[in-house]
Structures are given as structure tokens and as C-alpha cells.
Amino acid sequence: MGRKYFGTDGVRGPANSFPMTADIALKLGAAAGRYFQKSKNLSKRVVIGKDTRLSGYMFENALTAGLTSTGMNVLLLGPVPTPAVGLLTP
């Protein structure tokens, strides 16, 4: 069995320390984008929100790069409370 990066709260850890690196975020975005593109019933639009930590800008850009590299459309909300993201997704 391979490594497990996701826990019950997603991928977590200090910024710029494995697995919380821009490279992993880029790969995660690309993998998610490929999954969404293959799924006929899923939207091709992704909403990204973040908190106010400075590392959020790094992760936002890396995820966006990975997602858009697969043809996904990305809507960046900027710093928002988590429930705001939920309200904008079906």
C-alpha cells in the first residue's frame, strides 16, 4: 500500500515541509483535474477559497496551475470562511 497523504481533514502540515509543498499542491491539482475531466457527471469548474495565512497564496497558485493544466476552470474566492465555499458548490 502506498503512502497516505489525506487524513480526515485533508492534507495537513507545516507549509514548505513535505507534504505541504507547492510541488505536491501542483500534482494534487492536476490529479483532481484529470479525475473531474473523466467524470461525466462532475462540473468542470472548481472553486478555491483560502484563509489568511501567507502560505495560502502559494497553495492557491499551485493548485490553480495544476487544475488549469487539465482544462479545468478555476474561480478564486480569495480569503473566505469555509462555509462560503460550501455555499458556492452544488
* Per-residue pLDDT of the chain in tens (90 residues, 90 and over written 9): 567 777 777 888 899 999 899 999 999 999 999 999 999 888 899 999 999 999 999 999 999 999 999 999 999 999 999 898 888 887
Instruction: Please tell me the distance from the alpha carbon of residue 57 to that of residue 4, in angstroms, as a whole number.
Output: 24
- Largest Cα–Cα distance in the chain? 36
Task: Give the number of other Cβ atoms within 10 Å of residue 22's Cβ.
Answer: 17
Domain count, the chain: 1
Pull the grid cell for residue 43: 462540473
Contact 33, 71 (CB under 8 A): yes
For residue 88, which amino acid is it?
L
Question: What pLDDT sits at residue 5?
Answer: 75
83, part of any domain:
yes
Quote the pLDDT of residue 48. Answer: 95
Query: What are the beta bridge partners of residue 48?
Result: 76
CATH of the domain at 48: 3.40.120.10
Q: Which residues pair with 75 in a beta bridge?
A: 47
Question: Which residue segment(s) compose the domain that 74 sits in?
Answer: 22-87
